[in-house]
Amino acid sequence: MKPRFHTTARKAPDETSGLKAKRQAPKWRWYLILFVVSSPLLYFAMTGAYSIMVVTAPGNIKLKQYELRASRAGYVKKLLASVGDDIAAGQQLIELGDPLLDQRQIKLSGELSALRGGAQTYLPSLERSLYEQIGLLERLVNEREAQLNTMQTLYNQGAATRAEVVTAQAQVIEARVNLNRARVDLAAEQQRHASKEDPQYASASARLETELALVDHERAQLPQTANDGGRILDVFVSQGEFVSAGTPLMQVGLFSEPAIVAYLEPKHSRYVDVGTWATVRFPDGIKVTGQVTREPVLTKRLPAELVGTFGVRRMSVLLTIMPETEWPKKRLIEGLPLEIRFQYRWERSWGNWLGVAWGSLGGLFPSQPISSHAVEGVARSGDNG
């Protein structure tokens, strides 16, 4: 007896009962599975290679700042600006009040009015008319000054023209000139009749006028105005709060000379020096160029707002970068986070060479000439790459 063995194994994996299978497993699926499985490794490898080849650092915008301090003691009567408002130089931001100063002014004004009223019966008619004229002119000066302040505020807000402000200033000057002329006429008339005037009245009147002038001088220090134009970054006081002389009231950021502060890892500091160019990327994707302008002399911990979810606040070297071109005001935001990539030396020269080469092609295509602005734009695009 001779046993015979029959195998059921298929000779080919794509055949069934001697027939060709209708479907074939596509190979790209295996490549896709391989890519998905190896993607984390590829990501970490590319990230590591990028960090080795490219020097980057987080940063933010820093505006030049100053503190508005109280010029005298008083209470905050009114806040005329809030955080985020754009202000102009000389604009009133806070109005201070002093009840004791107000009471003293009312008292001195009343005493002086009573003294002048009692002496009016002894004065000639010309002097009485001059007193009345001075009173009317003083009211006119106050009204003109209030109108000028209103026009200045409207001009800062863009609701008035420069011509209207100049007209209001001319009206104030004219009113003051008329007031001074009336006072000079009154002084001359009083000197003419000095021999007939009571010496005690003249002494009391001069004393009250001197004290009233001192009170007016102190009241002129109550409005707190901006030293320079800019943007209000913080307000340290609230309405009704009492402040002493020198108390910080507001923090103001200036639009002039905005700077970028980069927090560079110390191990990369040897690659960056004064004059190094950098590409600055805003959160919305816009890129600008800047240049390191100062030697790094300070280290500081990375701010918490610039640290990632699993990051640490490492010690960093502080670098100051000045922008190459002027920025619009909408981008001058204090503390705005930025991404900074420091350029290689060949990048700048390559971008300039490309711009010159592209500009030289303008002679081959005279129908589409390339301007100098276009050449500069191409050069900058090479820098931003």
Single pTM value for the model: 0.52
Q: Which of 354, 321, 331, 382 is nearest to 59 (CA)?
A: 321
At 340-366, the pLDDT tens digits run 988 876 666 555 555 445 445 444 333
Q: Domain range spanning residue 375?
A: 345-385
Q: Is residue 71 part of a domain?
A: no
Q: Cα 12 to chain center, whole Å?
A: 77
Q: Is residue 217 part of a domain?
A: no
pLDDT of residue 335: 86
Q: Is residue 14 part of a domain?
A: no
Give the pair of three-digit tokens for residue 155: 């001009």
Mean pLDDT value across residues 264-272: 85
Question: What is the percentage of the chain residues whose pLDDT exceeds 70?
Answer: 74
Mean pLDDT value across residues 261-268: 88
Q: Is residue 100 part of a domain?
A: no
Q: Is residue 116 part of a domain?
A: no
Mean pLDDT value across residues 7-25: 58
With tokens 């020198």, the residue in question is 246
Q: Is residue 52 part of a domain?
A: no
> In the chain, how many domains are there?
1
Q: Is residue 136 part of a domain?
A: no
pLDDT of residue 371: 35
Return d(Cα 147, Cα 149) in angstroms, integer.
5
| 204 and 58 Cβ atoms separated by less than 8 Å | no
Distance set, CA 158 to CA 87, 94, 164, 245 (Å): 12, 21, 12, 33
